[in-house]
Amino acid sequence: MNWDILLQTLLSGILIGMVYALVAVGLSIIYGVMEIVNFAHGEFLMFGMYSSFWLFTLFALDPLLTLPLSALFLFALGALVYRFTIKRIASAPMVSQIFATFGLMILFRGVAQFLWKPDFRTVENSLVSGNIVVSGLYFGIPHLVAAVGAVLATGGVWWFINRTRLGAALEATAQDKEAAQLMGIPSHWMFALAWGLGAACAGVAGVLLSTFFPIFPEVGATFSLIAFVVVALGGFGNVTGAFWAGIIVGVVEVLGGFLIGPEYKLAIVLTLFLLVIIVRPQGLMGRAE
């Protein structure tokens, strides 16, 4: 056993886990406020990646610089998705809600394939590229930047929810929609906000990933699968829980891939998911209702 490699693997698991956490936080906010599982969540991430790719390819704008723009774009997309689809099925049976977000997933993938072809695309030579070596350990700069960016974004979301008036109103709506209305908080605006924020989280993660991950229409599939595992692990509607769970999933994935074989990466993560569901259905940090 080579300890350096093990440590290296552990660290890269932590780094990617921080990005997983951000994707999951978005999913978790939407579920927390509306109790709707967004199956099109990975597609928000995919759009984030493409927005970064096109701004870079067409206008030579670096992903790091266009990040706020992509975040705004995804926020608007999320809010529009709420306004024109989710609002109609907000009080529909769960099956309708599943079909609606599942349908959005297929639609978004189809749109991406139609407009941008199924090819793999990459962002080459952006501001963030290359490696650095710290005491014998290699870090890809894009991975490092993605992790730092994801932590900052997750921290920002935490701050918004816990420290601002609007964030408190969002949280209040998640806990008791009717009581929040009695406080004068308009539920529909809070739902739109949750969708905007949720999509922006996934979109920002997509931009951060775009500097080192291939971009293609189905890219969201893996990430949303992982996000479900993270959310289940961290407890639904819990930002702090999602953060730690993201890191756990990242480490389990990368370490498991290293020890058992990279082709089993996802299988290992999904085994973890099954174990959590069986042993602790409320999530590691969730409380039993």
Partner 1 sequence: MLSLRNIGIAYNGIPAVHDVSVEVNDGEIVALVGGNGNGKSSTLRAIAGLNPLARGNLIFAGEDITHLPAHKRTSRGICLVPEGRRLFPKLSVEKNLMLGAFTRSDSEEIAKSQDYVFELFPILKERRDQIAGTLSGGQQQMLAIGRGLMAKPRLLMLDEPSWGIAPKLVTKILDTIQQINASGLTVLLVEQNVKRALEIANRGYVLQTGRIALSGSGQDLLGNPEVQKAYLGI
Q: Which residues bind partner 1 (CB under 8 A)?
A: 165, 168-169, 171-172, 175-176, 178-187
Closest CB to partner 1 among residues 66, 173: 173
CB of 26 to partner 1, least distance (A): 20
CB of 180 to partner 1, least distance (A): 7
In this structure, what are the phi and psi dihedrals at residue 186, rounded to the nearest 5 degrees?
Answer: -75, 115
The alpha carbon of residue 106 and the mean position of all alpha carbons in its chain are separated, in whole angstroms, by 18
In this structure, what are the phi and psi dihedrals at residue 12, rounded to the nearest 5 degrees?
Answer: -70, -30
In a 13 Å sphere around the CA of 107, the CA atoms on its Cβ side amount to 12
Closest CB to partner 1 among residues 85, 187: 187
Closest CB to partner 1 among residues 166, 260: 166
Tell me the two tokens of residue 241.
């829980």
CB of 92 to partner 1, least distance (A): 16
Angle at 53 between CA 48 and CA 59, to 5 degrees: 120
CB of 168 to partner 1, least distance (A): 6
Tell me the CA distances in angstroms from 271 to 14, 33, 184, 249, one per residue in order. 19, 28, 44, 11
CB of 87 to partner 1, least distance (A): 14
Closest CB to partner 1 among residues 129, 181: 181
Alpha helix segments (H runs only) across the chain: 3-34, 41-59, 63-81, 87-89, 94-116, 141-163, 165-175, 177-182, 187-209, 220-234, 239-259, 265-279
Task: Look at residues 75, 64, 15 and name the one whose alpha carbon lies nearest to residue 199.
Answer: 75
Closest CB to partner 1 among residues 187, 222: 187
Q: Cα separation of 256 and 13, whole Å?
A: 10
Task: Give one word for 120, left, alpha or beta, with left for phi > 0 and alpha for psi -120 to 50.
Answer: beta
CB of 100 to partner 1, least distance (A): 24
Task: Look at residues 261, 249, 288 and name the one whose alpha carbon lies nearest to residue 20.
Answer: 249
Closest CB to partner 1 among residues 93, 184: 184
Closest CB to partner 1 among residues 134, 165: 165
CB of 167 to partner 1, least distance (A): 10
Instruction: Determine whether 34 is exposed, middle or buried from the number of CB atoms within 10 Å of its CB (0-12, 13-18, 19+).
Output: buried
CB of 40 to partner 1, least distance (A): 28
Closest CB to partner 1 among residues 35, 62: 35
